[in-house]
Amino acid sequence: MSETVEAMSETVEAMSETVIDTRHLTREYSRDEYKVVALKDACLEVQKGEFLALMGPSGSGKSTLLYLIAAMERPTAGELRVLGQDLNRLSDGEIAHWRNAHIGFVFQSFNLIPVLTALENVELPLKLTHLKKRERHEHAETALKLVGLSDRLKHFPRQLSGGQEQRVAIARALVTDPDLILVDEPTGNLDAKSANEVLEILAKLNKDYSKTILLVTHDPHAARFATKVRYLDKGELLPEGQKPAD
């Protein structure tokens, strides 16, 4: 296992600056006797340090693309390399390890564990590393400090506002210092002020720490925080600069 991870890390280093590289990526679902094409022939390249927003209406395939990149599901056809790794070649166990080591994920509905404090939630991905307890605490505290929640370490999710919960989720996503942060509609459940705070944090992570971020959103305001925007429409990734027709 460690050999595989080392090989993966070497591949990552050997790669140029391309973090995501998809070629004709397709994902179909079978619903009874019907086939639904959620994503068709998607070709996407994301370079290191980019903050890319994927936009499109509901059902356009943006979340599907995100889940494929996160290896939460497997493509029906096409090639997918993330951080130089061909994810189709990894077993489920290796994918889990790879995800922990390289990917940070932020969900629309925060997805914190309700029985754990903010600190414990952020510490959770570090439990899969070789870090000692004290080191895990230090890393988690640092991540929470980065998102401005150093005074909420012992608070449970129910004791936090929506915006604070999402900031905890961001801290959890970045605590392992991932190469890629995937963000799925992060402001969907937030008021305008909290949404701005969250988006500013993401922008700061990209600008100050050169984090590669892939943001899925249907909110044009959120997309403005990204450095680049691509649109999807009816399962197709439109060429750069092209917007879907109304």
**Interface with other proteins includes 96 (CB under 8 A)?**
yes
Query: Cα-Cα-Cα-Cα dihedral of 22, 73, 78, 92, to 10°?
Result: 100
Residue with smaller CB distance to other proteins, 43 or 128: 128
Q: Residues 161-180 vs other proteins: string with x where CB under 8 A?
A: -----------x--------
CA distance 161 to 33: 44
- Please check whether residue 185 is in contact with residue 217, taking contact to mean a CB–CB distance below 8 angstroms: yes
CA angle (39, 215, 219) in 5-degree steps: 90
Count the residues of the shown chain that bind other proteins, applying the rule CB under 8 A: 27
Residue with smaller CB distance to other proteins, 11 or 129: 129
Question: Contacting other proteins (CB under 8 A), which of 92, 151, 208, 246?
Answer: 92
Please list, in sequence order, all residues whose beta carbon lies within 8 angstroms of the beta carbon of residue 74, skipping any fewer than 6 positions away. 68, 87, 88
CA distance 9 to 85: 9
Residue with smaller CB distance to other proteins, 138 or 200: 138
Which residues 100-139 are close enough to bind other proteins by CB under 8 A? 100-101, 105, 107, 111-116, 120, 124-125, 127-128, 133
Please list, in sequence order, all residues whose beta carbon lies within 8 angstroms of the beta carbon of residue 204, skipping any fewer than 6 positions away. none
Which residues 29-88 are close enough to bind other proteins by CB under 8 A? 67, 70, 72-73
Chain positions contacting other proteins, by CB under 8 A: 67, 70, 72-73, 92-93, 96-101, 105, 107, 111-116, 120, 124-125, 127-128, 133, 172
